Amino acid sequence: MADIEYRGFDPELDDVVQITEMLHRAYKRLKDMNLLFNATHQPPERTLRRLVLGSSYVAVADGKVVGTVTVCPPKLEEPVETFFDREDVAHFEQFGVDPDFQEHGVGRKLLGLVEEEARQMGAKFIALDTAEPALHLIKMYERWGYRIVDLVDWGGVNYLSVIMAKKL
């Protein structure tokens, strides 16, 4: 396995087209399950918009991004409609690891970075959402200490989402 560098996303260094293609590969299993996650098909422009929503991290091997995740700060406006909307909850999104680098701790290391960032933001919880039918992902997050706290229909996708959270 190549040496992996973990750092903040840098639009001057990191190729958004390459990141988008990596996300498409990372989410292929979900696409094959007929689950229309944004990252299964989004164009590079949307990838970039999502990368700059919060603090984004990348895992880089041999000059290529092999993993990414974005952590968004707690929301401070009302109303509170989902667990994501609580003022003590940060959340992460657009989390993906190239299939060739999965099962090697890359994703866990990226999540460690966003969990620490969420603590620094003052969050008491870190949350995520995933498709209710993606049982393999739900089980993975449960192994990492996350628990289901909410069920939501975001619209625009073809599944119900579970919101999972971990106390920081």
In the chain, which ranges are continuous DSSP H helix?
A: 16-26, 28-32, 44-51, 106-120, 135-143
- Cα angle 161, 7, 90 (rounded to 5 degrees) comes to 35
Is the pLDDT at 102 greater than 90, yes or no? Answer: yes
3-state helix, strand, coil in the chain (%, to 5): 35, 30, 35
Digit-coded pLDDT (tens) for 105-160: 999 999 999 999 999 999 999 999 999 999 999 999 999 999 999 999 888 888 89
Q: What is the DSSP string of 57-77?
A: EEEEETTEEEEEEEEEPPP-S
Give yes or no for residue 1 having a pLDDT over 90. no
**Token pair for 65:** 């991004």
Q: Identify the band that residue 57 occupies on the pLDDT scale cut at 50, 70 and 90.
A: very high
Measured CA to CA in angstroms, residue 166 lies from 27, 61, 80, 121, 151 at distances of 23, 29, 18, 15, 16
**Taking the CB of residue 48, how many other CB atoms lie within 10 A of it?**
18
Give the pLDDT mean for 85-95: 94
Longest dimension (CA), the chain: 46
Q: Which two tokens stand for residue 144?
A: 């990492």
* Confidence grade of residue 58 (pLDDT, cut at 50, 70, 90): very high
